Chain A
Amino acid sequence: MVEKLFIQGNEACALGAIKAGCRFFAGYPITPSTEVAENLARLLPKYGGSFVQMEDEISSMGAVIGASWGGSKAMTATSGPGISLMQENLGYAFMTETPLVIVNVQRGSPSTGQPTMASQSDMMQVRWGSHGDYEPIALSPSSVQEYFDFTIKAFNLSEKYRVPVFLMTEESIGHMREKISIPKSVDLVARKEPTMSPDEFLPFKNRKNATNPMPAFGDGYKVHVSGLTHNEIGYPDTNNPKTHAVLVKRLCNKILKNREKITSVKSEFTDDADVVVVCYGAPVRSVTTAVKEAREEGIKAGYLKINTPWPFPDDDVKAVCESAKDIIVPEMNLGQMVHEVERVFAGDAEVHLLSKIGGELPKPSEVLNAIKSVGGN
């Protein structure tokens, strides 16, 4: 039976994590994500899981990686300043292909910024924040229900591709209360165990666009996991240009070559639209209202909601917005994902940024005005 609950976004995330099989959480208190930790501190011991409050975000990410190699589904939750501290060990997780989930409840920044206000200012930080070339997966919910659903999806993608997955939400969704449905059962992706003997198994095999199985520590595979450039066995091979190129390209390609399988978008009224609003996260809520109002006024407007900002859904965006002359990108920052949209259209359509910072969501009227001002009249 489906359970109906009226709960806060961050609580929905914690329930989603339990449902997804997460049995390890390590974190450090930070507004506005703390309720994820608080709820998991309460829930995990009831489900045979472990909650650890670490000394900082650096060690939180380290503990999550350690727990993942111990065989646990593991996650942490934080906000911008915490993500900054996690970047070092996040790079290690990408390099060593460690599945884990990071919840980022975004707040106003830079620096300590606005702890209790919403923003979308970490979109590029999670894409490029750690040093080096890598391809993250990021999901962006725009309701409490999606926050729950995407938490489960994040774990599934993380296990499927052996990669850290970001759940990018904002203070607004994190602290919002809405009615949600909790399904009795959900489809889960279990970690793929190696089937060959330890002597034959190559934990970092150069497989084309596919993910290697991953044993847990103690399974007898005796894996050496290193953040150094490593060969297929896992041994450091740092001065070999070929080893490095093969490894880093494989890490990126396992995401990029599976882009269509990972990405997800939702669109409405785009078939004949002159103006398409490309949006993600909390602003989607205002966009749907604004676009409907525009249609009522006879303006050919539509919207495209991006569920997976990373990897950026190039083909979906291009296909849906083909007929559009103008694209509007509302963001709660001074322009981050808009650069991706501009890259995809490369001059084929006029891309306009509708930026709003300070902590408030763009209002439907502001989005409607933007639609009107770009030629909807």
Chain B
Amino acid sequence: MVDEIDEYTIDDDFEKPKRAKAPFIKYLREDRLPHIFCPGCGNGTIINTFFKGMEEANIDFENVAMVSGIGCSSRIPGYIKCDSLHTTHGRALSFATGLKVSNPDLDVVVFTGDGDCASIGGNHLIHAARRNINLTVICINNNIYGMTGGQISPTSPKGSYGSTAPYGNRDKPFHLAELVAAAGATYVARWTTVQVESAAKSIEKGLKNKGFSFIEIVSQCPTYFGRKNKMKTPVKMMDHIKNSTIYINNTKLMSEHELADKIVVGEFVDKSAPEFTDNLQELSKENYGDKTLRRSAFLKNFDENKE
């Protein structure tokens, strides 16, 4: 028998192990954490990659505005401490077009996904690229609809499984980088969550490019794509991505058949062409004598003589 039990006391001097702070946490809305992304999701890697590219491009974060549609990738701007429009499914690029035209001085970044920009938003994607409007689009392509529970998307590989393709996907997938390049974008690259350094470099170049920049990042969705396609762990998914990757310069002599299961990475377009809001500014200078009027909603009087 024990007469007396020592009281359990908390040692005040005990130092909690310090968690290393992420270098880019200063750009995040910490009051919104924890985020909703699944363990192993590529979104975190891509957020870090974006900020690395942004800093390398010397972009003033105070000048960044983000626009997104609907889906897992489109939730990213909600965690970033900047002005952000979280819009309707597929329509992010149309909102971004209005925002950029209204205030061309903003650095407008669009986060989107394969379902958002290539399926429901396909028309807006090709037209934004055709206009060569100065937007930087980060398209996180995870080949699946994650937010709604694992349905196949327009980029799901042939034969892959999804909740709406229980017998395997029989459709041919879209190749987004090639599609946007054909539509007229002036900077187009595709990388994966495995090649973060290259992806950051492309984001840097995309932000610097005065025109429509499209950076597709093939990412892993272990929760839905992986689980339904015998790659349950993030590591297995990333291994698969890594092993499927082929650099664009090495594809020249390969047939379509040989490339069917490959992820072609690299820069697809890097050129210059007249930009949409620049053209509008020129038009304004010719007809109005100045650049376009900013913040018209806040004005009470308009200079009537200035026609």
Contacts and interface: CB of A to CB of B under 8 A. Distances in A.
The answer to whether A and B interact is yes
A72 B91 contact: no
A71 interface: yes
Nearest to A51: B280
A83 to B, nearest CB: 16
Given A45-B287, A217-B106, A226-B78, A72 B83 contact: no
Contacts of A193: 298
Interface in A180-223: 184-185, 188, 190-191, 193, 216-218, 220-223
A157 to B, nearest CB: 14
Given A59-B127, A99-B297, A66 B81 contact: no
B117 to A, nearest CB: 13
24 contacts: A21-B302, A45-B283, A47-B306, A47-B307, A49-B292, A50-B284, A52-B98, A59-B94, A63-B101, A66-B67, A66-B99, A67-B102, A68-B98, A68-B297, A70-B101, A72-B103, A72-B296, A72-B297, A73-B297, A193-B298, A216-B298, A217-B83, A218-B105, A224-B86
Contacts of A88: 88, 91
A21 B97 contact: no
A52 B105 contact: no
B83 A66 contact: no
Interface string A228-245: 100000011000000000
B85 interface: yes
Given A48-B293, A66-B97, 6 more contacts: A45-B286, A55-B127, A63-B95, A217-B83, A225-B85, A228-B86
A376 interface: no
Interface of B: 29, 32, 62-63, 65, 67, 77-78, 81-88, 91, 93-103, 105-106, 123-124, 127, 280, 283-284, 286-288, 290-302, 304, 306-307
Contacts of B105: 218
Contacts of A49: 292-293, 296
Interface in A79-132: 88-89, 92, 99
A23 interface: yes
A67 B95 CA distance: 8
Contacts of B77: 224
A49 B63 CA distance: 22
A163 interface: no
A54 interface: yes
Given A92-B88, A222-B81, A48 B292 contact: yes
Contacts of B124: 55, 58-59, 62
A224 B87 contact: no
Contact of B78 (A21, A59, A224): A224
Contact of A190 (B62, B67, B297): B297
A338 interface: no
Contacts of A69: 83, 85, 99, 102
A67 B32 contact: no
A64 interface: yes
A218 B88 contact: no
A218 B103 contact: yes
